[in-house]
Amino acid sequence: MAIIRAVLFDMDGVICDTERDGHRVSFNMTFKEFGFQDEWSVEQYHELLQVGGGKERMKHYWETHGFSKQIPAGQIDQLIKEMHKRKTALYVDLLKAGRLPLRPGVHRFLQEAGEIGLRRAICTTSNELAAVAVMERLLGDIVFDLVLAGDVVSKKKPDPEIYNLAIERLNLKPEEAFAVEDSRNGVLAAKNAGLQVLVTTNEYTEQEDVSAGDIIVTCLGDSPADACQLRKGKVPFDGVLHVKDVLEAFSH
């Protein structure tokens, strides 16, 4: 078994619960500003999350439901591009206002990874500006060796392209890194890239089939008071998952 040298973090739903109270809210604010009556509910947005990428999500919604105003096919791509740019700005405002805190254990886990000597990377289909805002606002003292975000790849998760690119950029073999994901699409992307996967589920993804993950927890945890649960994997766990224990489990 190769020595693990890097941890590759997804962002949305892993680092903070951005989807329900961040991205969804920002999309709805954008629809209103652009004169649409469309509003994505919590349940509907969960369904839309099965489509990777914000612009792709809006395009899928237009194709399957249509917007509340008629949009000619020749204009939809440019409109979505403009709407997504505004949506990102609104999302960054929410972050700066402190509306989206880190999930339990994320900062501690990333800090432990650095202390052990692991290289740290972000692999997200979230817009690059949004990713930078999360890192600067919530993880300002963490130094990442690589950040891949937005349209840096042509195919979004569950395609493994973003993880394949990360492995290439870090000059590693797949067995020398592991991914931290929260969703079925993310787990499939990481697995198809040959990575072992630590899954930390959230309110949106706890009912998804993430069984392909190697270790599954409900959160990484800072203390037993966070009430995190171990769903899969043979690791020491008292409500807090430590990097050294993940490495030990992934080395067998």
Residue 166: HSE in the Cβ half-sphere, 13 Å Cα cutoff: 34
CA–CA gap between residue 177 and residue 224 (Å, rounded): 27
Q: In what order do the strands lie in the sheet with 215-217?
A: 146-148, 119-123, 6-9, 177-181, 196-200, 215-217, 230-232
Cα torsion 153, 106, 219, 23: sign? negative
d(CA 201, CA 20): 14
User: Are 102 and 141 in contact, with CB atoms under 8 Å apart?
Assistant: no
> What secondary structure does DSSP assign to 116-133, as a single string?
HT-EEEEE--S-HHHHHH
Q: Which DSSP letter does residue 103 get? A: P
Residues 6+ apart with CB under 8 A from 224: 238, 239, 240
93 is catalytic: no
Is 10 tagged catalytic?
yes
**Among candidates 98, 89, 177, 161, which has minimal Cα distance to 125?**
161
From the candidates 10, 17, 159, 222, which is the catalytic residue? Answer: 10
- Residues recognised as catalytic: 10, 12
